[in-house]
Amino acid sequence: MTEYRSSLLKLLDERGYIHQLTDAEGLDALASKEIVTGYIGFDATAPSLHVGSLVQIMQLRRLQQAGHRPVVLMGGGTTKVGDPTGKDESRRILTDEEIDANITGIRRVFERFLTFGEGPTDAVLVNNDDWLSKLEYVPFLRDVGRHFTINRMLTFDSVRLRLDREQPLTFLEFNYMILQAYDFLELSRRHGLRLQLGGSDQWGNIVNGIELTRRIEGTEVFGVTTPLITNPDGSKMGKTAQGAVWLNEEQLSAYDYWQFWRNTDDSSVGKFLRLFTDLPLEEVERLEALPGAGINEAKIVLATEATAMLHGRDAASAAADTARATFEQGGSGDDLPTLSVGEGVSLAHALTQLGFTQSNKEARRKIAEGAVRLNDEAVSDAALVVEVGGEPVKLSLGKKRHALLVR
């Protein structure tokens, strides 16, 4: 582990957030002597961010915890273009009204993780549509576009991989990296920004912004990226068989969010405790060293602490209590997800509706395998129609997926 002087880089390093730095010595010196303003950009493509964005949100939280100033950049302008990074096809074009509604939904998440206000280290939320939509095309090409070469732009993964797969890359998307670089320049002018943070897949875009800002303004600015957070099988964290793990409760209940963390692979528990909770490192080390089945205690702590940060301590405690009642005591739990079945529903359809399975075919296979239970009794009839009277019926798939069927 590198020895840093600044509390910022020490914190980021100790908790596992550093993958690449553009100038470690320069940023360390700057953060040791003054408040550093840093930002991360988030495009508004949905009404909620998902857990794949959480490491970046936590980066901003760590920035503020270390006594510096986080800027949340909402991509109201860049959302209209579409980031080609990691994409196989162009994004659907959203209307201004859809983008504004998405920003409203996303902001609520940041208010859970950051302190906003007027103080020197209080967070600020800004929208790049405020300047990108006001740019004049020819002056922008002349003043900014001349600093970018097509030769180099073609080497960036976001472009090269699409072309290698012979998938279309529109001129609109090709401009995304220039607009993102311009964001860094504009934020340095408006907010005294000196640092951009982001995931490792944004390294090229961050470097572009640093170089553009230095060339046009002569300002020394810096970049830090996080490692790509993956599951043990190499898949991106947050992608599950049931779909994205959303951060807004309208898209995903606090209980299901708690369950996501409770189901963390044993090998990832220590890493996730460092990244996604505020537990002291000494406690993290104790938890990850628990022998044998003791790792389940660490998973429960991870789930409860991560859920408390997003949904509040009461919701986290309720989720933990529901899980305890469901798994350990054979109860149903008041906080389980519910499905209204009306006059009745086929068992396979109920499993798919709840997201426990991705298709009725998969549901029928799970039933045949004996993995499905109603009120803790195994069922094997794939054609069964479940009818609910006055009391809810608990539906379970395996040991970890439970829901209540109500009339």
Same domain? 147 vs 290: no
Q: Name the domain boundary from 273, 307, 328.
A: 328
Same domain? 96 vs 168: yes
Reply yes or no on whether the pLDDT at 235 is more than 60: yes
Same domain? 359 vs 219: no
How many Cβ atoms from other residues are within 10 Å of residue 84's Cβ?
24
Percent of the chain predicted with pLDDT > 70: 91
Reply yes or no on whether the pLDDT at 269 is more than 90: yes
Q: Name the domain boundary from 209, 226, 243.
A: 226
Same domain? 75 vs 219: yes
Same domain? 298 vs 349: no
pLDDT in tens, 10-21: 999 999 999 999
- pLDDT for the residue 140: 87
Same domain? 324 vs 342: no
Instruction: Give the total number of structural domains in the chain.
Output: 3
pLDDT in tens, 106-144: 999 999 999 999 999 999 999 999 999 999 888 888 888
Residue 75, in any domain of the structure = yes
Strands 195-199 and 222-226: parallel
Residue 40, in any domain of the structure = yes
Whichever domain contains 398, its CATH number is 3.10.290.10
Same domain? 97 vs 200: yes
pLDDT in tens, 184-209: 999 999 999 999 999 998 888 899 99
Whichever domain contains 304, its CATH number is 1.10.240.10
Residue 235, in any domain of the structure = no
Reply yes or no on whether the pLDDT at 337 is more than 60: yes
Average pLDDT over residues 238-254: 78
Q: Give residue 88's pLDDT band: very low, low, confident or very high (50, 70, 90).
A: very low
Same domain? 156 vs 273: no
Reply yes or no on whether the pLDDT at 211 is more than 70: yes
Q: Give residue 38's pLDDT band: very low, low, confident or very high (50, 70, 90).
A: very high
* Integer angstrom CA distances of residue 154 from 70, 81, 148, 150, 165: 32, 18, 11, 6, 14
Strands 69-75 and 37-43: parallel
Average pLDDT over residues 215-220: 92
Residue 231, in any domain of the structure = no
Same domain? 168 vs 263: no
Average pLDDT over residues 272-301: 94
Reply yes or no on whether the pLDDT at 84 is more than 60: no
Who contacts 265 (Cβ-Cβ below 8 Å, separation ≥6)? 231, 232
Q: Which domain holds residue 120?
A: 7-226
Average pLDDT over residues 333-348: 72
Residue 247, in any domain of the structure = no
At 107, which helix (H) or strand (E)? helix 96-113
Q: Name the domain boundary from 174, 207, 226.
A: 226
Same domain? 124 vs 201: yes
